[in-house]
């Protein structure tokens, strides 16, 4: 059985961490496969939303400590400093894909798993889920995007408090801090996640992807730069079949049927 399950249905690609007995810790092979599957989903014209979740009672408890201790995994990316290259690392790929990403937080997300959860665009959390910023308790730092993501989500002071103390945040506190979009009963997580994914997938995929791209770019651009880039994104959308369908469906007062063209 694969350690990472991949399924596409209703324009939704679902990636499921499948090491429930190991709390879905990330093994070496999973690192490469996760990046490959994210890229595959992003390039698939039938996929309009990517969902990340875990099998069992954990979302992802971080990197496989046994692999790290034995010299494998993330700490052994290159044979020499000159070969160290993270361009294809999952956090970089996750941040770069234009397809909207939804984390279905089914349980604990610690360390690397927490960073992956934060790296998604939207997070739907089960009541029993939690985010554990345990990096400093393990002698490391948030190596997978957490030092960039967390301060932007909760502000520098609160991010410093969470990261420096290695604090664990339960689902309700995550909601209060704005780290998750919804908290639902555990038994309703799959349905709640699918409802959000289907709502996104029902919209014009080219427009959704362009919106995400511009929002990401806005994080490092001035207002004027982003407005100019948005206008350049808008021009080809005006020529798309989906734009014509969007206008026609509005005038005809009917649901739109977008084709991604």
Which pLDDT does position 79 carry in this prediction? 47
Model confidence band, residue 28 (pLDDT cutoffs 50, 70, 90)? confident
Distance of CA 115 to the CA centre of its chain: 9
| CATH number of the structural domain 205-252 | 1.10.12
77-92: b or e for each residue (b if 16 or more CB lie within 10 Å)? eeeeeeeeeeeebbbe
What percent of the chain is predicted at pLDDT more than 70? 92
Pair of tokens at residue 52: 């990340």
* Mean pLDDT for the chain overall: 90
Residue 126 or residue 78, greater confidence: 126
- Can you give the pTM of this predicted structure? 0.89
Q: Domain-by-domain residue ranges, the chain?
A: 4-201, 205-252
pLDDT digits (tens, 9 = 90+) for 156-200: 999 999 999 999 999 999 999 999 999 999 999 999 999 999 999
Contact between residue 136 and residue 166 where contact means Cβ atoms under 8 Å apart:
yes
Instruction: Give the distance, in angstroms, between the CA of residue 187 and the centroid of all CA atoms in the same chain.
Output: 22
- For 260, counting Cβ atoms within 10 Å of its Cβ (0-12 exposed, 13-18 middle, 19+ buried), the class is middle
Poorest-pLDDT segment among 4-8, 33-37, 134-138, 206-210: 134-138
SS3 category, 7: strand
* Best CATH choice for the domain 4-201 from the list 3.30.70.360, 3.30.450.20, 3.30.540.10, 3.90.226.10: 3.90.226.10
What would the pLDDT profile of 192-241 be if each residue is shown by its tens digit?
Answer: 999 999 999 999 999 999 999 999 999 999 999 999 999 999 999 999 99
């Amino acid at each position: 059985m694969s350690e990472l399950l991949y399924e596409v249905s209703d324009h939704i690609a679902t990636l499921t961490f499948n090491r429930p007995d190991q709390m879905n810790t990330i093994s070496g092979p999973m690192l490469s496969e996760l990046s490959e599957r994210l890229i595959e989903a992003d390039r698939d014209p039938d996929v309009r939303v990517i969902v990340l979740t875990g099998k069992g009672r954990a979302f992802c408890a971080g990197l496989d400590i046994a692999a790290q201790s034995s010299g494998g995994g993330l700490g052994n990316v290159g044979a020499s400093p000159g070969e160290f290259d993270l361009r294809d690392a999952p956090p970089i790929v996750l941040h770069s894909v234009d397809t909207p990403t939804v984390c279905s937080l089914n349980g604990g997300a610690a360390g690397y798993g927490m960073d992956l959860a934060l790296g998604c665009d939207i997070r739907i959390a089960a009541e029993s889920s939690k985010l554990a910023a345990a990096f400093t308790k393990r002698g490391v730092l948030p190596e997978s995007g957490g030092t960039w993501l967390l301060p932007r989500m909760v502000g520098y002071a609160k991010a410093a408090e969470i990261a420096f103390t290695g604090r664990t945040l339960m689902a309700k506190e995550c909601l209060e801090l704005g780290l998750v979009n919804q908290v639902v009963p555990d038994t309703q997580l799959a349905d709640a996640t699918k409802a959000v994914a289907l709502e996104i997938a029902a919209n014009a995929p080219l427009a959704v992807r362009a919106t995400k791209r511009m929002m990401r770019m806005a994080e490092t651009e001035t207002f004027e730069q982003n407005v100019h880039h948005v206008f350049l994104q808008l021009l080809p959308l005006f020529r798309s079949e989906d734009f014509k369908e969007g206008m026609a469906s509005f005038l005809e007062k009917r649901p739109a049927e977008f084709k991604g063209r």
